[in-house]
A and B are shown apart, each in its own frame.
Chain A
Amino acid sequence: MTEWTNPAKAAFERYCSRMRESMVNSGADASEVIEDLKRHIETEAEAAQLRMVTEEDVRRILARIGDPALLQEAPKQSVVEPTQKRPGIVVLLFGVFLPIAAIVIELATHMCAAAFFDPIPTLWHVFLVFLVPLANFGAWWAVRIGHPAWRNRLGLANGLAIGIGAYYTLLYLPLMLPAVFALLFFGWGLLPMAPLFSLISAIALRSRLSEFGAGREGHRLPGLWCGLAGAAIALAIIVLPVPATHYFARMAASATPAVSSRGIHWLRAFGQEQTLLRDCYGTGRWIGENPLS
């Protein structure tokens, strides 16, 4: 343990009293800073293997560590300005709950598949469409609680959601107008609007995410183009096997033996069993797989 001479203690005290005055408006705890500085001097003395700290040592160390009076005054405002508009419950309702309800109802009743077309013919489609409310919820939650560390990842997920949402909005476009009329006159028909609403919500959330964590000037949110490209690739991988299977099935049914043989070969290699089963047995999907049917 290093000891201090009385003149050393007095020199340090003088320094501390000067420092106390300079720290009145600094926002720091003066007593804590004095303790820290004392500990710093003792550590320096230990490092220099001094058994006794003299006034000269204190002056030398204090001269080197500088004057805390140079410390600027504490800023009046915090660095973080929570002035950003936060997404409300409406976005949560239309961007998360409505698409989830639409997916679950379609899975349970096959309403759209029976009457018009099958929007989620495979489990991969279900996985993909579930990404939309999931990404929307992630963005909504991150902005609500103020978690900027996820901003870039959520930007990518949001791009993916916009891509998938746009595809399903186009798919449901022919049903939109009847759905609007049904909604206005009968009070039902919200489910076909779910892709459009979730797309609008995703776009709105992207704007919130862009402002989020980048100061008032805003900062371009990364991930839109990557997300859109990811959605396009995923949709291509999931959607293309269906028309391809139809094409190969037509080839297999050809009267020309060579074409038929080639069709069967391609069907075996790339054909989708579920698509063939659905074509044979109507709307039944994921025979033996669907947990909700």
Chain B
Amino acid sequence: MSDFFDNWTVQVRKGLLELCILNALAEKERYGYELVKTLVALQGMGVTEGTLYPLLSRLRVQGLISSRLEESSEGPARKYYALTRDGIRTMAIMNDYLEALNDGAKKLRRKGT
């Protein structure tokens, strides 16, 4: 049972990670280190920094986020990420989709009990 649940959570987390990145950038742009630390600290996500940077790069290649480098007085240059117009649109669609899916699952749960 535990293995089944672990496998299931891995699938759920994989699916949600990209949406979490987009949602984390919804309010304001964030620099990579800050963004990664925020997502790593997300309870239940169980994600590591190593898997987040490739995802950020993929989202940038797909045109959903943009990045820019800015010199920092506190250390290495910071790479700031922000949502593109396409990213905002996709994020809204994904959030709506997830909400609908969750509503459906809740309805089934109510029927089942």
The answer to whether A68 and B103 touch across the interface, beta carbons within 8 angstroms, is no
The answer to whether B36 and A28 touch across the interface, beta carbons within 8 angstroms, is no
**A42 touches which of B56, B75, B89, B104 (Cβ 8 Å):** B75
- Bound CA span A219–B103, Å: 9
The answer to whether B101 and A215 touch across the interface, beta carbons within 8 angstroms, is yes
Nearest CB on A from B9, distance (A): 14
When C-beta atoms are compared, the residue in chain B nearest to A151 turns out to be: B96
When C-beta atoms are compared, the residue in chain A nearest to B40 turns out to be: A65
- Bound CA span A31–B88, Å: 26
The answer to whether B54 and A26 touch across the interface, beta carbons within 8 angstroms, is yes
- Bound CA span A36–B65, Å: 15
**Is B76 located at the chain interface by the 8 A CB criterion?**
yes
**Is A292 located at the chain interface by the 8 A CB criterion?**
no
**Is A214 located at the chain interface by the 8 A CB criterion?**
yes
Interface residues of chain A: helix, strand, loop or mixed (majority): loop
Nearest CB on A from B60, distance (A): 7
- Bound CA span A86–B18, Å: 27
The answer to whether A39 and B77 touch across the interface, beta carbons within 8 angstroms, is yes
- Bound CA span A5–B55, Å: 29
The answer to whether B54 and A219 touch across the interface, beta carbons within 8 angstroms, is no
The answer to whether A39 and B50 touch across the interface, beta carbons within 8 angstroms, is no
**Residue tally, chain A, CB below 8 Å to B:** 40
Interface residues of B in 58-104 (CB under 8 A from A): 58, 60-62, 74-77, 79, 88-90, 92-94, 96-97, 99-101, 103-104
**A148 touches which of B36, B58, B75, B93 (Cβ 8 Å):** B93
Q: Which residues of B lie under 8 Å from residue A64 when comparing CB positions?
A: 48-49
The answer to whether A65 and B50 touch across the interface, beta carbons within 8 angstroms, is yes
- Bound CA span A62–B51, Å: 12
**Is B14 located at the chain interface by the 8 A CB criterion?**
yes
The answer to whether A43 and B89 touch across the interface, beta carbons within 8 angstroms, is no
State which of A72-80, A124-132, A281-289 sits at the interface with chain B: A72-80
The answer to whether B54 and A68 touch across the interface, beta carbons within 8 angstroms, is yes
Nearest CB on A from B34, distance (A): 10
The answer to whether B33 and A215 touch across the interface, beta carbons within 8 angstroms, is no
The answer to whether A37 and B50 touch across the interface, beta carbons within 8 angstroms, is yes
Jot down 7 A-B pairs with beta carbons below 8 A, ordered by A.
A40-B33, A62-B50, A65-B49, A79-B18, A147-B89, A148-B89, A151-B96
Residues of B within 8 A of A (CB): 14, 18, 32-33, 36, 48-51, 53-58, 60-62, 74-77, 79, 88-90, 92-94, 96-97, 99-101, 103-104
